[in-house]
Amino acid sequence: MMEKIKVFIEKVREAKSIAISGHKNLDGDALCSALALMKIIELNFDKKATVIYDGNVPRDLDYVPLRSEIVFHKNIPENAKYDLYILVDYGTRKHLGEVEKYVNAADFVIEFDHHFNDDLVGNLCFDDEEKAATAQVIYDMVKVVNFNINQEIVDLLMLAIITDTGKFKFVRSSDVFKDAAKLVTAGADVGHLMNLLNNKDKKTVLVESKAVSLAEFFMKGRLVIATIHNEDYKKLDGRGDTVLSLLGQVHGVQYIVLLKEQKENRIGVSIRSRQTPINQIAESLGGGGHLCAAGAVVEDSLENVRAKIINAFKGM
Ligand SMILES: [Mn+2]
């Protein structure tokens, strides 16, 4: 760890230009980890890193500290070249989207992540699959080096943990609470931060509740599949997490699946499980993720994907 951190410090010190990105279609962990790292670099190295993103940022992240600092990839020159590129919470190379060209052009790439990935992009990798959020991987380094942090960094790290654990529902290790406790001591107001995330458009909430009310139950109620059709998908903002969490509250439900018809013959699949790992089902569909929270994007019709899912759960 210390050796890697030394290299991190040396590379940040040497770099004249630094960019940071998370996966395409930022979630709370990717966005907040990127912004936290940007601010850590600013406070401790007196350098301004550029946070570049591809895809959409959900409305519920509108009030995240420093949210206005991120730059859409189209506003970056095509031939931009950074001395140092830092990837946070990116998943795998194919999740980088349009920022990949800048990553490939960079002299050195450092990554912080907690996703399983057997094709690491970074030259220097801080990866820890045990962590509930990438922000914790960054926080580990902050604690070891005793980097200066401010209120914004504290709030961003806590927001990343809150969002990636589904407001602490998916916590599997006490480690998360240890970090959360340190952040509360450092000034994070959990209630305030959770409220700041309640910022969805009405149309999104209505589409989510429609999907919940039309969900179909299988396997004696242990499997539930909700669907968001294309005409509603346009009104959805984010991943439809409310659908997953509401259906996960139903008595007897073990597996929750949300099918999102992003366009004809392209279906986004989100799978959650209360206990038994389901990541292999996501992998069989060409996706991946965590043991009990995984997903895929499948190029096929809604009916076919639905049939594949029902079939994949047979015997579980
Ligand atoms: Mn994450």
Task: Kindly give the distance from the C-alpha atom of residue 123 to the centroid of ligand 1, in angstroms, as a whole number.
Answer: 20
Residue 34 alpha carbon to ligand 1 centre in Å:
11
Per-residue pLDDT band at 169 (split at 50, 70, 90): confident
Closest CA to 123 of 11, 9, 36, 2: 11
Identity of the residue numbered 284: S
Kindly give the distance from the C-alpha atom of residue 293 to the centroid of ligand 1, in angstroms, as a whole number: 11
pLDDT (mean) for 8-21: 98
pLDDT tens digits, one per residue of 105-145: 999 999 999 998 999 999 999 999 999 999 999 999 999 99
pLDDT of 218 strictly over 90 = yes
Neighbours of 134 (CB within 10 A): 33
Centroid of ligand 1 to alpha carbon of 170 (angstroms):
12
CA 216 to ligand 1 centroid distance, Å: 29
Tell how far the Cα of 162 is from the centroid of ligand 1, in angstroms.
Answer: 11
Q: What is the pLDDT of residues 187-207, one digit of tens each?
A: 999 999 999 999 989 999 999
Cα(223) to ligand 1 centroid in Å equals: 25
**Percent of the chain whose pLDDT exceeds 90:** 92
Q: Ligand 1: distance of its center to the CA of 220 in Å?
A: 32
Residue 170 has pLDDT above 90, yes or no: no
CATH fold for the domain made of 202-312: Diaminopimelate Epimerase; Chain A, domain 1 (3.10.310)
Is the predicted pLDDT of residue 172 greater than 90, yes or no?
Answer: no
pLDDT at 10: 98
Cβ burial 10-36 (10 Å sphere, 16+ → b, else e):
ebbeebebbbbbbbbbbbbbbbbbbbb
Q: Across residues 20-32, what is the average pLDDT?
A: 97
What is the CA(303)–ligand 1 centre distance, in A?
A: 30
Show me where the domains of the chain are located: 2-196, 202-312
Question: Ligand 1 center to residue 160 CA distance, Å?
Answer: 8
- Superfamily of chain region 2-196: inorganic pyrophosphatase (n-terminal core) (3.90.1640.10)
Asked whether the domain spanning 202-312 has the same topology as the one spanning 2-196, the reply is: no
In the predicted structure, residue 258 carries a pLDDT above the cut 90: yes
User: What is the pLDDT of the chain when averaged over all its residues?
Assistant: 96
How many other CB atoms are found less than 10 A from the CB of residue 174?
9
